[in-house]
Amino acid sequence: MKFEPDRSEGVNIVTHHDGLSIRVGPASFTHSILLPWAGEVRAWPPRAFAELSAAHFELALALRPELVIFGSGRRLRFVPPALLRSLIEQRIGVETMDTAAACRTYNVLAAEGRRVLGAMLLESTPAA
């Protein structure tokens, strides 16, 4: 899926997602990423939904978002609330959707100037 976003200087925008990769501006990623509204896109360790842990979501805290959009892979799957406890305790909102929808939603919120963080899961193996 190719995206045609409005251009916002200094804001990270997803320009392409096809289930196997995500392109942010000119950079392409074939692994899970933490995608802040601005600044450096970071590799995110989980390679499959089953690998997710609380520590993975704690990595988001250092980026100080107001909202986390979790892209759960090719299909919608909800994370157990216990894994999101660190975000919830800091009053950081978390929305879950499949990664394609998460990319679209992230773009809208980032273009609006929101401090949004995309936690985009790209699975290295097909979803079960």
Full set of structural domains in the chain with CATH = 14-120 (3.40.1230.10)
Q: What is the CA radius of gyration of the chain?
A: 13
Give the model's pLDDT for residue 124: 74
Give the pLDDT confidence of 26-78 residue by residue, as tens digits.
Answer: 999 999 999 999 999 999 999 999 999 999 999 999 999 999 999 999 999 99
The continuous run of DSSP H or E covering 85 comes out as helix 85-89
The one-letter amino acid code at 50 reads A
Give the model's pLDDT for residue 5: 45
| pTM summary value | 0.89
- Sheet architecture: strand order including 22-24: 14-17, 22-24, 27-29
The pLDDT of residue 101 is above 70? yes
